[in-house]
Amino acid sequence: MSLKSRVWEKLKKKFDDGEVDSPLKYTYVKQVSCLMSSVGAWPHRQFGRQKLHTLLSIYNLGLHGVCAGMFILGLLYWRQRRHNMSFFDSGHIFLCMLFDLLVLLRFMVTQTTKYQETIKAFLLEFHLFYFKDRSPYAAKVHTQVHTISGMFSFYVICQMAHGMALFVLMPCYSNLRKGMFGKNRPENSTFENSAYYYLPDACYTTLRGYWILLAFNAFSSYIITIGLFEFDLMISMMVFQIWGHLKILKNSLLTMPLPVNSKDGLYSPEENIKIKALLKEIIEHHTLIIKFVDGCSNTFSEYLFTFYLFMQFITCILLLEVSSFTADALGKYGPLTIGMHQQLIQVSILFEVLNTKSNELIDAMTQIPWEHMNTSNRRTVLFLICRIQIPVSLKAGGMVPVGVNTMQAVLKGSVTYYMMLKAFAAEG
């Protein structure tokens, strides 16, 4: 057995959940639902937990107010002190405000019925768990997607914990290094924080005020981190499942049996009946995929549009902040810069892979042995060919296709804006 095969077998054992009776009991699904529930963004009502859903919805609405309040207070803080603030400090304030606004918009999405219905359809109808018994190949694909999902979820959660800890604790280290916690504090000094708001000066000049603001910033950083990363993790999980369905569908097209013991090269009447049932199953499977993708597109269209729009500015400001290459900047913004750029790249590449796999179905249609079928089945194949032409893709805002080209345009724009801001900072 090759090294690659041995590693893959170990990973399958590591992320194997054994026999379960529902996708909701998979470890990576429980991880996502737990973290999303911590910000009131998991649709428990759709899974029969009405009281919990009501309580978490009220909590989530409260977080709406927290995000909106942070955005407004951050803007007022910058407006009050902008004349005495460096270009990089202003960039930090605007970065936090963009995070607040983006997460607020995402929280709004979670309260919509279409979002909740999409999550329900994903876990109770579309998940590969319900298709793994169709064939040995379907079981293989299910195992593959399950392992990838588990690995990816674990990686993203570790990345979130690491980035959030550094973002909150780096200012603490900076304050400790400056002697802000000692008895002989520097005169006219203020505490450094991970985020700033329009608050009484005591929050920035007294030790008690600092600890209160630190506790709030730790809580708000957790909320923002979940809002920034967990939503995209959930969408990535859906893309993995769609990709698995397309692989199974392609295999069904490529492995359609040929006639057995046929003198004229045609299927026998009994074989035509089996082929008809197989074609019907393929059409129903493809219809299910298109229906789910359309539902996702309807639910996450505006979500993806705001994702690319905000990424244009967030990645630009992060490049500016980390470009000072100081230890504080690298520690505070380095993991966040890597995480946000990776997020942009991974979402775009996943959807690009989805588009590619969808196009492969068109090529697979040419392998169907339609010439051996009767007239009725040939008509069905013709209908299927027309159906397969429908692309399996999502569009941001119903207009911008999600993929590598969009990602490339965002990254180019970010670098252009970064160069402009860098020039302004040098002039200042």
Give the dihedral of Cα atoms 109, 114, 116, 121; nearest 10 deg. -140
Residue with more model confidence, 87 or 286: 286
Per-residue three-class SS string for 311-330: HHHHHHHHHHHHCCCCHHHH
Q: What is the mean pLDDT of residues 261-273?
A: 82
Map out the domains of the chain as residue ranges. Answer: 9-427
Q: Flag the least confident range among 9-18, 136-145, 269-278.
A: 9-18
Q: Is the pLDDT of residue 414 over 90?
A: no
Residue with more model confidence, 62 or 181: 62
In DSSP terms, which residues pair with 400 in a beta bridge? 396
Residue with more model confidence, 28 or 17: 28
Confidence at residue 60, expressed as pLDDT on a 0 to 100 scale? 93
Collect all residues with Cβ–Cβ distance below 8 Å to 164 and sequence separation of at least 6: 221, 222, 225
In DSSP terms, which residues pair with 401 in a beta bridge? 395
Confidence at residue 424, expressed as pLDDT on a 0 to 100 scale? 66
Contact 28, 149 (CB under 8 A): yes
Q: Is the pLDDT of residue 76 over 70?
A: yes
Residue type present at position 203: C
Q: Is the pLDDT of residue 355 over 80?
A: no
DSSP letters for 51-79: HHHHHHHHHHHHHHHHHHHHHHHHHHHHH
Split at pLDDT 50, 70, 90, the class of 39 is: very high
319 Rama sector, left if φ>0, alpha if ψ -120 to 50, beta otherwise: alpha
Contact 204, 210 (CB under 8 A): yes
Confidence at residue 370, expressed as pLDDT on a 0 to 100 scale? 85
Residue type present at position 312: Q
Q: Flag the least confident range among 10-14, 238-242, 307-311.
A: 10-14
Q: Is the pLDDT of residue 278 over 80?
A: yes
How many whole angstroms from its chain centre is CA 125? 20
Split at pLDDT 50, 70, 90, the class of 427 is: low
Residue with more model confidence, 237 or 324: 237
pLDDT over 70 for what percent of the chain? 93
| pLDDT digits 0-9 by tens, 126-165 | 999 999 888 899 999 999 999 999 988 998 898 888 888 8
pLDDT over 90 for what percent of the chain? 25
Nearest of 70, 73, 126 to residue 101 by alpha carbon = 70
| pLDDT digits 0-9 by tens, 184-225 | 888 778 888 888 999 988 888 888 989 999 999 999 999 999
Residue type present at position 87: F
Q: Flag the least confident range among 43-52, 68-77, 328-337, 368-377.
A: 328-337
Q: What is the mean pLDDT of residues 312-331?
A: 76
Per-residue three-class SS string for 240-270: HHHHHHHHHHHHHHHCCCCCCCCCCCCCCHH
What six digits make up the tokens of 410? 């965002």
Q: Is the pLDDT of residue 49 over 80?
A: yes
CA distance 364 to 281: 16
CA distance 103 to 255: 46
Q: Which whole-number Å values give the CA distances from 303 to 32, 34, 108, 337, 411, in the listed order?
A: 18, 21, 10, 21, 19
Q: What is the DSSP letter of 371?
A: G
